[in-house]
Structure 1
Amino acid sequence: MMESGSGFIGPFTTEITLTYRNVFTNIGNAYNPITGIFTAPLKGAYMFRVSVYGHGPTAATADIVKNGKAVVIAHDNRPQNDLNSSNGVVLILEVGDVVYVTLWSGRRIFDNKSNHSTFSGYLLFPLR
């Protein structure tokens, strides 16, 4: 998530879309690292995963969002420990549907060069 160094993202007073700038693979450039939004280039079944990492006392909470609607959540809240959570979902997307990750208001995550907090997605198969 962080381009260089390490640190916290958040907390913010409103929900934000997370931008993942360390992109390992982006065949077709459907993911925009500036906006944090994946736009479906074709109709199909896609698998998405999110992982969040943080440190208490502030909880780490993020959603995978499809077209503005939260689909699954990754959440952890242990006041005196490291926080770690992940979740995933298979979505049927139409051309132009968007998927992204939001960080909840008042929550924070941590990242560094070890890439603890990630978002990934891939096409399982196209549909007609």
Structure 2
Amino acid sequence: MSNEREKVAFSALTNYGAAYGPFDMDKTLVYKKVITNIGNGYDPSTGIFTAPVAGIYHFTFLYHAGGERASKLILKRNGEEITMTGDNKSQYEKSNNGGNAVCLQMKKMDRVCVVLAANCHVWGSEHTSFSGFLVCEE
């Protein structure tokens, strides 16, 4: 390991321009509009972040959605559910907003993504985002 600290950070937006979902099964959310991708860990064609180095990472995911359907996003590491955010449908709410954040100890090549749960939706706009950065290397 060199004395120079590795720099890893990404931030991306869904950027579909309309409602995204619902689908009959869980679906990895692909954030197509990349704002930052230092270290090239985020892949905008798959929606998956792959840790280029081992360390502690901080991840944040936020969404906006219409209230007429349920919304649920799940953050997964290597296929395992870590945390989630969501809201039930409501006849009284016109929109829902939510998010969550977590610090994770990651091994090199561990993979993190956000999954849209089956039968749920989000607005595929710039209000729905996924970001992460390396806090410290191990």
Q: Give your verdict on TM over 0.5.
A: yes
- State the 1:77 CA deviation: 2.0
Matched length: 123
Q: How does 1:1-128 map to 2 (within 5 A)?
A: 1-2=14-15, 6-79=17-90, 80-81=92-93, 82-112=95-125, 115-127=126-138
Superposed structure 1 runs of 4+ greater than 4 Å apart: none
Query: Following the alignment from structure 2 to structure 1, what is the Cα–Cα distance between the partners of residues 34 and 77?
Result: 20
Contact 2:71–2:89 (8 Å) recurs in 1: no
Q: Which runs of 5+ in 1 are unaligned?
A: none
RMSD: 1.0
Q: Which runs of 5+ in 2 are unaligned?
A: 1-13
Contact 1:45–1:92 (8 Å) recurs in 2: yes
- State the 1:51 CA deviation: 0.7
Contact 1:52–1:61 (8 Å) recurs in 2: no
* Structure 1 length-normalised TM: 0.92
Work out which of the two has the higher radius of gyration on C-alpha atoms and give 1 or 2.
Answer: 2
- State the 1:78 CA deviation: 4.5
